[in-house]
Amino acid sequence: MEVTSVNAVYLEMGELTVARMGRGYGWFDTGTHDSLLEAAEFVRTLQNRQRIQIACPEEVAFDAGWIDAEQVARLAEPLRKNEYGRYLFERIGR
């Protein structure tokens, strides 16, 4: 039995697209327990060493000017006691 990859099927259908990711991006195929753990460890290491949060929508919105510091503070208030909430307050200088 021939095994065909998902990518080969999409390529055959003309539905496969490729996007080059610039510097600072990482791609993890998390289809197995081990690869999911590897991705989680990478995120934890990056966040701890660079003191940033991965996938922080409040920070993205604040940096883009879509929300102001007061709105970030309101969103962060219920999270004040955890690391994520403290990060948001630190991010807006409070």
Q: What is the pLDDT of residues 38-72, one digit of tens each?
A: 999 999 999 999 999 998 999 999 999 999 999 99
Please count the other Cβ atoms lying within 10 Å of the Cβ belonging to residue 13: 8
Q: Are 59 and 45 in the same domain?
A: no
Q: Are 37 and 59 in the same domain?
A: no
Q: pTM for this structure?
A: 0.65
The pLDDT value recorded for residue 1 is 57
The pLDDT value recorded for residue 8 is 84
Please count the other Cβ atoms lying within 10 Å of the Cβ belonging to residue 56: 16
Domain enclosing residue 45, as ranges: 1-50
The continuous run of DSSP H or E covering 73 comes out as helix 69-76
Q: Tell me which range, 6-15, 26-35, 50-59, is most confidently predicted by mean pLDDT.
A: 50-59
> How many separate domains does the chain show?
2
CA-CA distance, 88 to 80, in Å (whole number)? 9
Over 90: is that where the pLDDT of 27 sits? no
> Is 62 within 8 Å of 69 (Cβ atoms)?
yes
